[in-house]
Structure 1
């Protein structure tokens, strides 16, 4: 057991065991792949549960159609969607504030660029836009008098513009893509156990004590927590700057799972993907898939708040068709009356 100093509770050591495999595949799988003029078919479901905690500090957002929400002035490609998971700590003030102001912080003020499928500048501008949004949200928390400086939140966001998927993360929530049934992590957990984060922290004068940043936090990137940060503009061991990953979606990409750390502490990436895939074949409903993920985490004795979002990129019937097509096809034939008579005689021993 280790002590979670965010919440002063005892948590199992297994909490750190599912982080190591996250970074292994990112560089190889998050690169832009070739794709035809494919357009994903978006629908999503989400679910949250308080778990064994006394309060739920998680917040989340699921918007399948941004154009409908923002009105006719929005000229983004279809589909245009936005999803986010905010896992608060030190109370729910920070996660609630960021959720309630997310459209302004992450979309309106972030200067999203015009879409261009084969434009390197567009991809770089998208990345800069996402990074700017996280820093804007962090500064907004510093300026918001209703949010205590000891309150903070992780942030995981996903934007779909046409066939572009961009995921940004600060903290230990995680995004996992299902590609032809295989789990592909699209975000990196920012925990003190991650060696590149350890080096970054130590280079900036911070330290890791008992697995915690400066002996305080179990995450190394977060929005808020301004009592641990240097004045605005100065680099701090605790930062809100996100990692940003881009994927050009193809027909092979089936769905995205976004979840807080409570999900991933008790479930591997592949276990979660396989569970959702089974559920999609059974009920055609991403909402039920999100519920199933949370329920499974509860059965596995999760010790935290639980939040999951499932975003489908293709109709669930496409999944069933894929599964059926993998089975060997049987040829049908009809027997003549004479053949049937001979078969009956053979079976009867005549």
Structure 2
């Protein structure tokens, strides 16, 4: 993410290697509305989830799963279904790894979150549907306040929404806007800072991506890159039409001459009063897919990665790494290193989420069968052709 020349960047920031603690979802278990949400979840499925796994940020963890019959849930209207919807498949076994580097910039303004076992993270001890996992990348600009606030609160807004988990898409969309408004109301923070945001929620076999800005999520499907989000650049046709309809302008690819993205949370110096439509929108676009045996992993990254690497290049590289060592954290680290070698100009954050405990299978390309014709047959063909001449 890039601000226009002359934009002010606030205080320095250092990378924190600690885990995403339960304290960040403050008061979640004591909140009445959240208790009602958990009660509604308990009525939907039966069976106690596993409790023996820990969730560690920047590390690999595994989530054991219930049967497909327990978890093949309908979670709202589908926005974007994959071509492999009809394939039967066991539920995913989730493992993730992440890497974040300051890169060539003066400060680190990115934040991210990796929760492979959301059941354990929320301490939902009975009858919570599984598997549920949550991931996010938040690319801050103009300071770290917006990215830090959204990272610490977006999950709380999702699970406490009255529509969760009956209509997950609606809950996520509402949570982005609520987080944006809550950030504006916090007088202790610099509300002129902003952040793009992309989140991934794995809900049984369903993968739901929500994106506002130019972070990107790419699915690796047997070596093929499937983009699960769209970069919200001001010059994108649909974004340009929306911006101009709401009175915004685009100068040299920058929204109102200031920001290189068309959607972001925060940046309240560029937005009108809460509740009004603004050329800079915090509302995410959602894409959904039903995972099949062909879907091997998901890469989530900030624009520092995608500015120097195509989606297909990242998937090809990640797949090659995983076939060698099967370590998503090491894989994310290699993607970051490659982006640095390619002279990225931004902070770098990459998450790799694997859907199986096994490495991707090697793709065997069938060899071309060479066919030959005997001299006798060749003469017969030649004679037949001559007879027609």
TM-score, normalised by the number of residues in structure 1:
0.80
Once the 2 structures are TM-superposed, how far is the Cα of residue 316 of structure 1 from its aligned partner?
Answer: 3.2
Residues 196 and 265 of structure 2 are in contact (CA less than 8 Å); yes or no, is this contact kept in structure 1? Answer: yes
State how 1:161-176 maps to structure 2 within 5 Å: 161-176=203-218
Kindly indicate whether residue 182 of structure 2 is the aligned counterpart of residue 140 of structure 1.
yes
- Match status 1:100 vs 2:152: yes
Tell me which residue corresponds to 1:347.
none
Indicate yes or no: 2:111 matched with 1:59: yes
Any gaps of 5 or more consecutive residues in structure 2?
Answer: 10-78, 368-389
- The secondary structure found in structure 1 opposite 2:362 is helix
1:209 is aligned to 2:261: no
Deviations 1:185-220 (A, max 9, x none): 000100112111000000111110111001111011
C-alpha displacement of 1:29 = 6.1
Structure-1 separation of matches of 2:124 and 2:214 = 36
Q: Give the helix-richer structure, 1 or 2.
A: 1
Contact 1:30 1:245 (C-alpha < 8 Å) held by counterparts: no
Identify unmatched segments of 5+ residues in structure 1: 10-26, 115-124, 329-350
Q: How far has the Cα of 1:130 moved from its partner? A: 1.1
2:210 counterpart SS class: strand
1:68-217 correspondence runs (5 A): 68-73=120-125, 75-109=127-161, 111-114=163-166, 125-217=167-259
Match of residue 300, structure 1, among 342, 346, 358: 342
Quote the offset at 1:34 in angstroms: 1.6
Q: Which has the higher contact order (CA 8 A, sep 6+)?
A: 1
1:323 is aligned to: 362
Assess if the C-alpha contact under 8 Å between 1:175 and 1:256 holds in 2.
yes
| Partner deviation per Cα, 1:131-176 (whole Å, 9 max, x = no partner) | 0010011011111112223111001000001100000000000000
1:257 equivalenced with 2:296 (yes/no): no
- The answer to whether 1:226 aligns with 2:268 is yes
Report whether the alignment pairs 1:238 with 2:290. no
In the TM superposition, residue 110 of structure 1 has moved relative to its aligned partner by: 6.2
- CA contact 2:3–2:259 (8 Å) conserved in 1: no
> Which of 276, 279, 287 matches 2:329?
287
Distance in 1 of aligned mates of 2:308 and 2:298: 18
Cα deviation, 1:284-341, whole Å, max 9, x if unaligned, reads 1000000001000000000000000000012233x1xx3166578xxxxxxxxxxxxx
How far did 1:127 drift? 1.6
CA contact (8 A) 1:259 1:307 kept: yes
Q: Which among 251, 272, 278 is matched to residue 314 of structure 2?
A: 272
